[in-house]
Chains A and B, each alone.
Chain A
């Protein structure tokens, strides 16, 4: 098949898979929504057990972190995450996965510089910039409060 550049471009465009953005987004929506809905079920369960209203959502996060850590260790989380993109990244389970997987992968480097350091390769930036923004917010909140705005 002899094709000029423009013809080739047309050919590629015609046969290329349509933009995956919509498909990716639907998958991410479904996966992320499912994790959050499961979290909500857990929250109702914890409230039903008599947990305080303030504590139940925190314990939901802790439970999801536990589930994610175990699934990551067993290698299941990665196989799910491959298909759902941001759907398994943005929930707290994705954060937990990002904490554990580099720690497991680098455990051969030792307890301190292997597990100890690599545990924070994603948690570090998240905690740093999160804390930083909370301090900036705190300064604003304090000043506005002092002037009774």
Chain B
């Protein structure tokens, strides 16, 4: 009976910890996105430049020792935004230099991000093969009618 209550207590504590973790991720991730929106609205920076700036900032913030504590604090809130990509690049570089010396300078960054890059380009390629490029594809009805008219043309 007592064991049951203790187990229940542990379970509740774990649930509370996870809820807080999810809220932290929401707030930190949201803040990083909100900041990007302010930059876009105020400076008119193009989305591609924002992405590049975020990745480079991630490397810089990891280099000065700010980003690692943020990842430990916010989890996915810090790793999911593109600054997290920069964090993985920098983390991979440091790890590779620790293990292999100077060789790590050229091998570490891409090793640290290999899974993400591979997933994006392989899945992207497969998707580009599967999905049609008609802009009206969103609407299933119009999709069928375009197909029909294409068949008639053929």
- Residue positions of A touching B, CB distance < 8 A: 20-21, 24-37, 39-44, 57-62, 64-66, 69-70, 72-76, 79, 85-87, 89-92, 94-96, 98-100, 103-108, 115, 119-120, 122-123, 125-127, 129-131, 133-135, 137-142, 145
Closest 10 CB pairs of A and B: A36-B29, A32-B33, A33-B30, A134-B109, A39-B76, A138-B105, A73-B131, A28-B37, A40-B25, A86-B36
Indicate whether A36 sits within 8 Å of B123 (C-beta atoms), given known contacts A91-B82, A135-B109, A141-B94.
Answer: no
- Per the bound structure, the CA–CA distance linking A41 and B15 in Å amounts to 12
B76 touches A131 (CB 8 A): no
* Interface of chain B residues 63 through 111 with chain A (CB within 8 A): 63, 74-77, 79-82, 84-86, 88-90, 92-94, 96-97, 101-102, 104-106, 108-110
The size class of the interface chain B forms with chain A is 35 or more
Indicate whether A89 sits within 8 Å of B36 (C-beta atoms), given known contacts A43-B75, A61-B119.
Answer: yes
* Secondary structure of the B contact surface, majority rule: helix
- Per the bound structure, the CA–CA distance linking A113 and B60 in Å amounts to 34
Please give me the residue from chain A that is nearest to B109 by CB atom.
Answer: A134
A28 touches B34 (CB 8 A): yes
Q: List 27 A-B contacts (CB under 8 A).
A: A24-B41, A26-B34, A28-B30, A33-B29, A36-B25, A37-B29, A41-B22, A61-B79, A62-B119, A73-B130, A86-B33, A87-B30, A89-B47, A91-B80, A95-B51, A99-B120, A103-B125, A103-B128, A107-B129, A115-B125, A119-B121, A126-B48, A133-B56, A134-B90, A138-B93, A139-B105, A140-B63
